[in-house]
């Protein structure tokens, strides 16, 4: 399955539930003790192969699938159903042990209670330079929507649907992840397990029914 192509910080790649990427400079107010957290650049030699990721999306199926795909690659994933929950989770993680902070927040644009741009701005205002990498994820690829997400504090915006290779490329380009040329596609049982979950009643879909849109548009690897 393939996705639309976009440019991620100078890297060409297709993406799925995220927006096109670009960086944004935001002056922070965090203390120096927190300044080493978040998305500080590292060399590929010193970069980890495992990241702690917060997935923020109001669609349960989207969260489930993305979490399974990222956990398959060895990452530690947590999720939130809206922006307010994400703000609270990030606050608790930043106030606690450094080992519990997130490396990346994957933030959907449109959500109830608090949308992605508002959540990104709130987190950025609270933590400044210590803020984890915020990657906006949305199908709203109009220039004004992308610019607005960036102006609210998203470091990168990738379009839906998300291609895992593009997300990896973003991490590698920022020195956050070791380059791994051996990463395999997720096993089919992971994809089947997600595709059987119909949004709502949890019943299994008929075998001749097309899978949910996120499965049709997600690209592997």
Q: Is residue 34 part of a domain?
A: no
Which residues of the chain have a pLDDT value below 70? 1-47, 98-99, 180-221
pLDDT of residue 78: 97
Q: Is residue 146 part of a domain?
A: yes
Q: Is residue 88 part of a domain?
A: yes
pLDDT of residue 140: 82
pLDDT of residue 215: 46
pLDDT of residue 87: 98
User: Number of structural domains, the chain?
Assistant: 1
Q: Is residue 213 part of a domain?
A: yes
* Distance, CA of 169 to CA of 184 (rounded, Å): 15
pLDDT of residue 15: 36
Q: For residue 77, give the H/E element and its range.
A: strand 76-80
Q: What is the CATH number of the domain that holds 47?
A: 3.40.50.2300
98-128: per-residue pLDDT in tens? Answer: 668 999 999 999 999 999 999 999 999 999 9
For residue 179, give its domain range: 5-27+43-217
| Residue entry with tokens 């990498």 | 133
Q: Is residue 33 part of a domain?
A: no
Q: Is residue 14 part of a domain?
A: yes
pTM of the complete model beyond 0.85:
no
């Amino acid at each position: 399955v393939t996705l639309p192509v976009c440019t991620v910080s100078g890297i060409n790649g297709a993406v799925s539930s995220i927006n096109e990427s670009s960086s944004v400079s935001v002056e922070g107010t965090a203390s120096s003790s927190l300044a080493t957290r978040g998305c500080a650049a590292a060399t590929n030699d010193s970069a980890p192969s495992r990241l702690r990721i917060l997935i923020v999306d109001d669609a349960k199926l989207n969260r489930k699938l993305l979490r399974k795909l990222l956990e398959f690659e060895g990452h530690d994933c947590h999720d939130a159903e809206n922006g307010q929950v994400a703000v609270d989770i990030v606050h608790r993680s930043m106030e606690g042990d450094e080992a519990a902070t997130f490396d990346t927040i994957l933030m959907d644009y449109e959500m109830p209670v608090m949308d992605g741009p508002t959540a990104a701005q709130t987190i950025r205002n609270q933590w400044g330079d210590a803020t984890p990498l915020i990657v906006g994820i949305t199908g709203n690829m109009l220039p004004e929507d992308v610019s607005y997400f960036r102006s609210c504090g998203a470091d990168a915006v990738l379009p839906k649907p998300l291609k895992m290779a593009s997300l990896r490329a973003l991490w590698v380009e920022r020195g956050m992840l070791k380059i791994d040329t051996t990463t395999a596609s997720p096993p089919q049982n992971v994809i089947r397990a997600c595709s059987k979950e119909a949004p709502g009643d949890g019943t299994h879909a008929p075998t001749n029914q097309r899978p949910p849109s996120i499965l049709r548009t997600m690209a592997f690897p």
